[in-house]
Amino acid sequence: QGTFASRVALGDASVTVQREVDGGLETLRLKLPAVLTADLRLNEPRYATLPNIMKAKKKPLEVIPAADLGVPGVSPRLKVLQVQEPPARGGGEKVQDVAALVEKLRHAGRI
């Protein structure tokens, strides 16, 4: 694996990864397939402008069934049994000092 990659060069059967370490730059050559993670300096992000966001909303979304792509139809391996909201949190309490806090925690069974 190559972590925090700041420069990546793909070869025939390997990938060369340059990354910053405390002592300078480190260059790694990894056999493919490999796992890479990127540093902030690897790429300059392009931010979407408002007109382009509005244009993207109007474009049609093409849905392709998995069977058309040659992916065999398999049943899902996970099954959702139940979905529920977590219980509501109770209100907080103020205590006078540390001794009172420890006593309340001990009474509640937290310590």
pLDDT in tens, 12-49: 899 999 998 888 999 999 998 899 998 887 778 889 99
pLDDT band at 59 (very low <50, low <70, confident <90, very high): very high
**Cα(6)–Cα(57) distance, integer angstroms:** 33
Dig out the tokens for 2 from the structure: 């190559």
**DSSP 3-state assignment of 66?**
helix
**Cα(38)–Cα(5) distance, integer angstroms:** 5
Give me the residue spans of the domains in the chain. Answer: 1-44
Instruction: Answer for the pair 27, 17: CB distance below 8 angstroms, yes or no.
Output: yes
Q: For residue 75, what pLDDT is reported? A: 77
Which amino acid is it at 49?
T
